[in-house]
Amino acid sequence: MGYGYRLHVRGLPGRPDIVLKSRGRAIIEVRGCFWHWHECANFRMPVSNVEFWRAKLEANRARDARNLTALTDAGWRVLVLWECEMLDDELLMRRLREFLEGSPE
């Protein structure tokens, strides 16, 4: 789309996936539905070792929430894109443009 960005900036909470400082301190987090326990049709809790996976995925969600709070408190705008939302290219491009160009989500 022609925007300049940096990947996984170490000095920011959670080392965000995509950082666009020149676009109004914007961050794009790309999250997999399984690893970040997105409640969608793509998510299935494993049937074996359920206690381990539940604890692991709950910890991932808690970490994501802490990082999001730290980023927004530091003045960053954050867009979270889920794996299941990336199937529709037109919708994805529209959301990215609206976010990066400052239009309301």
- Domain boundaries, given as residue ranges, for the chain: 14-88
State the distance between the two ends of the chain, measured CA to CA, in whole angstroms. Answer: 18
Residues 25-40 have a mean pLDDT of 94
Strand partners, 19: 6, 27
**Average confidence score pLDDT of the chain:** 92
CATH T-level topology, domain 14-88: Endonuclease; Chain A (3.40.960)
Positive/negative CA dihedral, 12, 36, 84, 95: negative
pTM, rounded to two decimals: 0.86
Res. 103: pLDDT tops 60? no
Rounded CA separation 20/13 (Å): 15
Query: Exposed, middle or buried, 78 (CB in 10 Å: 0-12/13-18/19+)?
Result: middle
